Amino acid sequence: MKNLTSVLFILLLPVSYNAVAQQSFIKTFYPGSYTKLLENNKGSEFTLLFWSVDCPPCLEKLKLISKTRMYAKQKFVFVSTDGDEMLADVAAVVKQMNLEQQAHWVFKSGLNQEIINSVDSNWYGEVPRNYYFNKNHQRTRLQELKLKQ
């Protein structure tokens, strides 16, 4: 019986590894990740978009970005506020929107408030939340996303 369990474990290992690997394009966003993200994008202009799988207007926004290929003209970084316990759901939405080639993060579960505070002390978790960063990383909150001409 023990042998059978071991065989099954070995056989199923690549399957579960593959499931994780398929979602591994999504990084985990910790309280320090915001600073890291800015450092990694030093000198470049980009839009940071916080969204949730539980937010119909967020999905409309992702759909718009995908449909108009907005990302071809401007850089986007997407961060899901759902928590990494929802990673499979987040990955499913990203794939459904054909946005898996973009930069994606998901909040570390249980640290939402700390992460939110690390980004913007006036933010209460409402989504979507968009910020535009110019090359000097001056931040502007965007009510609406605009297609760059």
Partner 1 sequence: MRSFIYRLTVILPAFFAPYAESEGSHVRPPDFIKNCSQLRVSQDCAKTMSSVFDAHGRLWSAWVNGQYLYVNYSDDKGLTFSQAVKVNVVAEKIAAGREHRPKIKVSDAGLVFLSWTKKLAKRFTGDIRFSRSVDGGKSFTVPVTVNDNREIISHRFDVLGVNKKGDIYISWLDKRDKQKAARENQEYNGAAVYFSASFNGGKSFIENKKIADNSCECCRMAMDFDQQDLPVISWRHIYGDNIRDHSMVNFKNKMEADKPYRLSYDNWKIKGCPHHGPSISIDKHNVYHAVWFNNAEKRHGIFYANSHDKGKTFSSTLKIGNYANKASHADILAVNKQVYIVWQEYLHPRYKMFMQKSADKGNNWDEPVLIAETSGTPDYPFLLTDGQAVFASWHIPGQTYRLILLR
Q: Which residues in this chain contact partner 1 in the complex, by CB under 8 A?
A: 52-59, 93, 110, 112-114, 116-117, 121-122, 124-129, 143-144
Between residues 122 and 136, which has the closer beta carbon with respect to partner 1? 122
Q: How far apart are CA 52 and CA 34, in angstroms?
A: 17
Least distance (Å) between residue 31 CB and partner 1: 9
Q: How far apart are CA 46 and CA 145, in angstroms?
A: 12
Between residues 45 and 108, which has the closer beta carbon with respect to partner 1? 108
Between residues 45 and 100, which has the closer beta carbon with respect to partner 1? 100
Least distance (Å) between residue 85 CB and partner 1: 10
Q: How far apart are CA 28 and CA 13, in angstroms?
A: 23
Q: How far apart are CA 61 and CA 69, in angstroms?
A: 12
Least distance (Å) between residue 83 CB and partner 1: 9
Least distance (Å) between residue 116 CB and partner 1: 8
Element (H, E) at 6: helix 2-22
Between residues 102 and 130, which has the closer beta carbon with respect to partner 1? 130
In this structure, what token pair is assigned to residue 89?
Answer: 């759901």
Between residues 38 and 59, which has the closer beta carbon with respect to partner 1? 59
Q: How far apart are CA 126 and CA 68, in angstroms?
A: 25
Least distance (Å) between residue 80 CB and partner 1: 13
Residue reference for tokens 């590894």? 17
